[in-house]
């Protein structure tokens, strides 16, 4: 991560870093995903959007290994990871945050960030017992260095010793991102990074997402309802409705797609909807289409 190239655009010619192929997932009789396929270009910011219940979180859970699809494949850097357990996927470089914050609330910010690194330890208990001396010291130093860079980057130095439970929601979301970054991922998956945030917090988070890509070379895959944010930040947008991909392409392409507009019609006033789908700047965005 520290030596990744600077980037502010995807590499569309390079092979996809993540590829989802014909994924199908059912809960009893409910088909949460049907034949879902798309690719994530390295260095891209890719967004998954869709009305409530469309299957976005189910898709994230399937990509990160919490749910097992009945059909289809997930490939990471060309490797089929469909059968790999979640921690192994994390160790390969797929990190994520959760729609509902999943931090250890009684612990400090710093301790939560340190926990992120555990996904990176490839040693077992016995290896760890013998893991002494210089290597261990170097590992500890490298670790501290990564943690410090993340704390600095996300501007959370002032709260490093604060208990997570005492923090406002926007800062908790930032700590969750810090923990995911501590895994030194290649792909960062964010489930609704700005949900519940006020405008200022949203703008900050949008800036961090752009910087994660630009300064650290990390590919971002996010689920988000805030259309202003999605249209401003994304290179590629995948639209889900009732568990199926109904459109994908650039923000301009999907917001003009009649099927996408139809899918969101239940969300309320058509004029308002068109305005939101056109994607205003983050600065003027209101709450997302939900």
Ligand X SMILES: Nc1ncnc2c1ncn2[C@@H]1O[C@H](COP(=O)(O)OP(=O)(O)OP(=O)(O)O)[C@@H](O)[C@H]1O
Which of ligand X, Mg ion, none does residue 50 bind to, with CB < 5 to 8 Å depending on kind? ligand X
Interface residue with ligand X among 39, 44, 56, 93 (CB under 6 A) is 56
Residue 179 binds ligand X (CB under 6 A): no
Q: Which stretch binds ligand X (CB under 6 A): 52-60, 130-138, 152-160, 278-286?
A: 52-60
CA distance 243 to 55: 5
Which uninterrupted H or E stretch holds 223? Answer: strand 219-223
- Judged by beta carbon, residue 52 or residue 198, the one nearer ligand X is 52
Q: Are 135 and 195 in contact (CB under 8 A)?
A: no
Residue 130 binds: one of Mg ion, ligand X, none (C-beta under 5 to 8 A by kind): none
Looking at the Cβ atoms of 54 and 189, the one nearer to ligand X is 54
Q: State how far the Cα of 41 lies from the Cα of 237, in Å rounded to an integer.
A: 12
Q: Whole-angstrom Cα distance, residue 102 to residue 106?
A: 12
Q: Is 23 in the site for ligand X (CB under 6 A)?
A: no
53 near ligand X, judged by CB under 6 A: yes
Closest contact distance (angstroms) between CB of 56 and ligand X is: 3
Q: How far is the CB of 118 from Mg ion (least distance, A)?
A: 26
Q: How far is the CB of 128 from ligand X (least distance, A)?
A: 34
55 touches ligand X by CB under 6 A: yes
Give the separation between CA 176 and CA 286, rounded to whole angstroms.
23
What is the distance between the alpha carbons of residues 1 and 76, in angstroms, rounded to a whole number? 17
Residue 102 binds to ligand X (criterion: CB under 6 A)? no
Least distance to ligand X from the beta carbon of 227, Å? 13
CB crowding 46-76: b at 16 or more within 10 Å, else e: bbbbbbeebbbbbbbbbbbbebebeebebbb
Indicate which of ligand X, Mg ion, none lies near residue 32 (CB less than 5 to 8 Å, by partner kind). Answer: ligand X
Q: How deeply is 77 buried, as exposed, middle or buried, from its count of CB atoms within 10 A (0-12, 13-18, 19+)?
A: middle
258: which residues sit within 8 A by CB, 6+ positions away?
none
User: With contacts defined by CB under 6 A, how many residues of the chain interact with ligand X?
Assistant: 12
Contact between 217 and ligand X per CB under 6 A: no
Q: Which is nearer to ligand X, 53 or 217 (CB)?
A: 53
Q: Assess contact for 277 and 260: CB atoms under 8 A.
A: yes
Among 34, 57, 97, 255, binds ligand X (CB under 6 A): 57
CA distance 189 to 86: 13
Positions 191 through 210 that interact with ligand X (CB under 6 A): none
Partner in contact with 54, chosen from ligand X, Mg ion, none, beta carbon below 5 to 8 Å by kind = ligand X
222 Cα distance to chain centroid: 4
Does 52 bind ligand X (CB under 6 A)? Our answer is yes
Stretch near ligand X under the rule CB under 6 A, chosen from 26-34, 132-140, 143-151, 163-171: 26-34
* Dist. CA 221–CA 185, nearest whole Å: 12
Nearer residue to ligand X within complex by CB, 27 or 130? 27
**Three-state SS string across 242-264, please?**
CCEEEEEECHHHHHCCHHHHHHC
Residue ranges that bind ligand X, judged by CB under 6 A: 27, 30, 32, 50, 52-58, 99
């Amino acid at each position: 991560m520290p030596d990744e190239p600077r980037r502010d655009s995807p590499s569309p010619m390079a092979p996809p870093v993540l590829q989802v192929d014909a994924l199908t997932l059912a809960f009893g009789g409910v088909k949460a995903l049907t034949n879902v396929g798309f690719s994530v270009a390295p260095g891209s910011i890719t967004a998954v959007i869709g009305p409530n219940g469309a299957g976005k979180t189910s898709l994230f859970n399937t990509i990160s290994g919490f749910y097992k699809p009945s059909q289809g494949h997930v490939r990471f850097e060309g490797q089929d990871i469909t059968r790999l357990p979640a921690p192994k996927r994390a160790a390969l470089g797929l990190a994520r945050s959760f729609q509902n914050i999943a931090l250890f609330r009684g612990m400090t910010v710093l301790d939560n960030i340190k926990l992120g690194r555990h996904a990176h330890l490839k040693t077992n208990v016995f290896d760890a017992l013998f893991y002494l001396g210089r290597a261990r010291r170097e590992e500890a130093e490298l670790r501290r260095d990564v943690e410090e860079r993340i704390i600095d980057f996300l501007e959370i130095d002032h709260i490093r010793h604060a208990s997570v439970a005492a923090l406002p929601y926007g800062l908790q979301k930032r700590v969750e991102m810090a923990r995911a970054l501590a895994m030194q991922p290649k792909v960062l998956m964010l489930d609704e990074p700005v949900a519940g945030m006020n405008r200022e917090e949203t703008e900050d988070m949008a800036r961090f997402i752009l910087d994660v890509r630009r300064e650290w070379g990390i590919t971002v895959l996010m689920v988000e309802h805030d259309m202003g944010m999605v249209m401003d930040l994304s290179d590629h947008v995948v639209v889900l409705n009732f568990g199926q991909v109904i459109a994908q392409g650039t923000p301009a392409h999907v917001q003009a797609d009649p099927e996408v507009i139809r899918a969101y019609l239940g969300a309320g006033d058509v004029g308002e909807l068109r305005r939101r789908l056109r994607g205003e700047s983050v600065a003027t965005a209101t709450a997302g289409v939900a």
